[in-house]
Amino acid sequence: MKIYNLNNCAEFLDRINARSDTGVKEAEETAAEIIEDVRINGDEAVRKYTAKFDSDSAKYYEVPAGVIEKAYREADSELINALKRCKENIEAFHERQKQDGYVITSENGVMLGQRSRGLERAGIYVPGGSAPLVSSVLMCAVPAKIAGVGEIIMTTPPQKDGTPNMDILAAARLCGVDKVFQCGGAQAIAAMAFGTENIPRVCKIVGPGNIYVTAAKRLLFGTVDIDMLAGPSEILILADESANPRYIAADLLSQAEHDRLSSAVLITTSNEIAKTTVVELERQLAALPRKEIAEESLQKYGAIIVADSKEQAVDLANKLAPEHLEVLFENPLEYIGRINNAASVFFGAYSPEPLGDYYAGSNHVLPTNGTARFFSPLSVETFTKKSSWIYYTKDALKEAADATILIAEREGLDAHANSVKVRCEN
pLDDT per position as a tens digit, 211-266: 999 999 999 999 999 999 988 999 999 999 999 999 999 999 999 999 899 999 99
Q: Among 3.40.50.1980, 3.40.47.10, 1.20.950.20, 3.40.50.720, name the CATH number for the domain at 42-226.
A: 3.40.50.1980
pLDDT, position 328 = 98
From 28, 323, 326, 353, the catalytic residue: 323
Which DSSP category does 221 fall into?
B
CB 229, CB 147: distance < 8 Å: no
pLDDT, position 20 = 78
Give the distance from CA 21 to its chain's centroid. 18
Which residue type does 58 have? A
Fold (topology level) of 2-22+231-374: Rossmann fold (3.40.50)
Which DSSP category does 237 fall into?
E
What span, in angstroms and rounded, lies between the C-alpha atoms of 7 and 372? 24
Residue closest to 366 by CA, chosen among 303, 300, 321 = 321
What span, in angstroms and rounded, lies between the C-alpha atoms of 202 and 200? 6
- Establish whether 29 is a catalytic residue: no
Q: List per-residue pLDDT tens for the chain, 426 residues long.
A: 899 999 999 999 999 988 877 788 999 999 999 999 999 999 999 999 999 999 999 999 999 999 999 999 999 999 999 999 999 999 999 999 999 999 999 999 999 999 999 999 999 999 987 678 899 999 999 999 999 999 999 999 999 999 999 999 999 999 999 999 999 999 999 999 999 999 999 999 999 999 999 999 999 999 999 999 988 999 999 999 999 999 999 999 999 999 899 999 999 999 999 999 999 999 999 999 999 999 999 999 999 999 999 999 999 999 999 999 999 999 999 999 999 999 999 999 999 999 999 999 999 999 999 999 999 999 999 999 999 999 999 999 999 999 999 999 999 999 999 999 999 987
pLDDT, position 399 = 95
pTM of the model: 0.94
**H-state helical runs in 257-332:** 271-285, 291-301, 310-320
From 94, 258, 324, 364, the catalytic residue: 324
pLDDT, position 239 = 98
- Establish whether 324 is a catalytic residue: yes
Residue closest to 257 by CA, chosen among 284, 301, 297, 286 = 297
pLDDT, position 311 = 96
Residue closest to 307 by CA, chosen among 3, 5, 1 = 5
Domain ranges of the chain: 2-22+231-374, 42-226, 392-421
How much of the chain exceeds pLDDT 70, in percent? 100
Which residue type does 73 have? R
What span, in angstroms and rounded, lies between the C-alpha atoms of 23 and 116? 39
